[in-house]
Each structure stands twice: as C-alpha cells, then as structure tokens.
C-alpha cells in the first residue's frame, strides 16, 4: 500500500509543477521557481502520502508497544514517520491488521 501510494503521488508530478508555476496556459502568469525547489517540496509531499497510506490514528506493534498518533498539534508528522519506519522494517510475510473502532 505504501509503495502504491508513492506511485500514485508521482502521477501528480506534472500537475504539481504546473500549479506551482502558475498554470499551463499562455495567458497565465508564470513563476520562475527553480525546478529543484519544486522537486524538494514534491518529495516531501510523496513521503507524507506514503506515510499516511497505511497507518491510522494509532499503531500497536507486534511487541505490544502503543504508538499514539494523537500527540497534539505538530506531532502528526512525527507519528506517521515513526509508524512508517516501523512498517518498512517488518518482514515481507508480516500481517498488518487495520481496525476501525467507533464508540
């Protein structure tokens, strides 16, 4: 799922560049932003999309560690980074179970 999310994000690259530079038309004002600057921001976007592809609000590891995704403002990126690193290190035959619980 994470690889698929990354691939789907890359399909948005041409549109991402066009939007950042002001659009594809002749009559649209163009920003002369260097492509390497746009690319760096796009790489961050791809990583966020990959990180959020699998994990939800919380993650329980195979060792029983509870990784809380509700750490307050500004903590979401850290949670998704930690959760993504954990998932990437799992063996290929590991099972992931996603639960949705509502009270």
pLDDT tens, residue by residue, 45-93: 887 777 777 777 788 888 888 887 776 666 777 888 888 888 888 898 9
Provide the whole-model pTM. 0.54
Got the DSSP string for 8-65?
A: HHHTTHHHHHHHHTT-SSTTS------HHHHHHHHHHHHHHHHHTTT--SEEE-TT--
Same domain, 46 and 78: no
- Domain hosting residue 48, numbered range: 1-53
3 lies in the same domain as 29? yes
Report the alpha-carbon distance of residue 92 to residue 86 in Å, rounded.
13
Structurally, the chain folds into a number of domains equal to 2
């Amino acid at each position: 799922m994470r690889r698929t999310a990354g691939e789907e994000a890359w399909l948005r690259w041409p549109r991402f560049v066009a939007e950042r530079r002001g659009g594809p038309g002749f009559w649209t004002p163009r920003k002369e932003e260097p492509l390497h600057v746009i690319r760096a921001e796009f790489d961050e976007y791809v990583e966020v999309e990959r990180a959020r592809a699998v994990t939800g609000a919380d993650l329980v590891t195979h060792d029983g560690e509870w990784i809380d995704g509700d750490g307050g403002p500004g903590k979401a990126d850290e949670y998704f980074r930690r959760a993504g690193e954990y998932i990437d290190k799992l063996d290929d035959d590991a099972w992931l179970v996603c639960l949705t619980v509502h009270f």
